[in-house]
Amino acid sequence: MNTHRHPADARRLAFAAAVLLSAGLAACSSTSMPMGASTTSAMTATSQAALPTPVQVPAGHRVAWETVGVGQITYECRAKAGTPGAFEWVFVGPDAELRSRSGMKLGRYFGPPATWASDDGSALTGTQVGLVPAAAGNIPLQLVKANPATGRGVLEGVSYIQRLATRGGVAPALACGEGQTGQRQVVQYQADYIFWKPGA
């Protein structure tokens, strides 16, 4: 058997291999990460400088707990306040699991009022103090000043909560008019929730 290839055959094989390789790379690059996966690295006090000022936690705080919220947000079609004849999708409330970065369930985030609850029995609410737009299609980044926690656990003493690395969750791109008043739509979302306490 002749094991030597004609140079033209070798070029054709090399070209075919290159086409297959590029197609494979394109397929990999177009594959989206499943909801629930997180590539965000652990947050530290020094990494605050990389965030927009309105959602930075004041100096003198340390990270107490990091979670990934995975769930849904409900919107309702309602008349737009102060604009007769106009309607809009209005945020009703969230319902999400709080998970570790490895996917273990740690607690729940729900509302209204917006409440973060750990499976250890501690829970808290808060007041928004900062908001920054995220990439198109994602709910904004947020900074919340925490109210005193109830129960004993990881949320005791938490003073601030950050919502970062948001994915999805924006109001639905569906018709909202007089004929849809009162209708509700549920959209999926994900976000990192970082809990901070005073201290170095």
DSSP states of 99-129 as a string?
E-TTS-EEEEEETTTTEEEETTS-EE-EEEE
Residue 177 to residues 76, 170, 182, 193: CA-CA distances in angstroms?
A: 11, 18, 10, 34
C-beta of residue 153 within 8 angstroms of C-beta of residue 120: yes
For the segment 24-83, what is each residue's pLDDT rounded down to a tens digit? Answer: 322 332 222 334 333 344 666 668 888 999 999 999 999 999 999 999 999 999 999 999
Give the pLDDT of residue 200. 67
Give the pLDDT of residue 46. 60
Give the pLDDT of residue 47. 80
Neighbours of 98 (CB within 10 A): 23
Give the pLDDT of residue 156. 97
Q: Which residues of the chain have pLDDT under 50?
A: 1-41
Q: How far apart are CA 147 and CA 145, in angstroms?
A: 7
Q: Counting beta carbons within 10 angstroms of the beta carbon of residue 73, is it exposed (0 to 12), middle (13 to 18) or buried (19 or more)?
A: buried
Closest residue by Cα to residue 95 from 186, 34, 198, 199: 186
pTM of the model: 0.78
Give the pLDDT of residue 26. 29
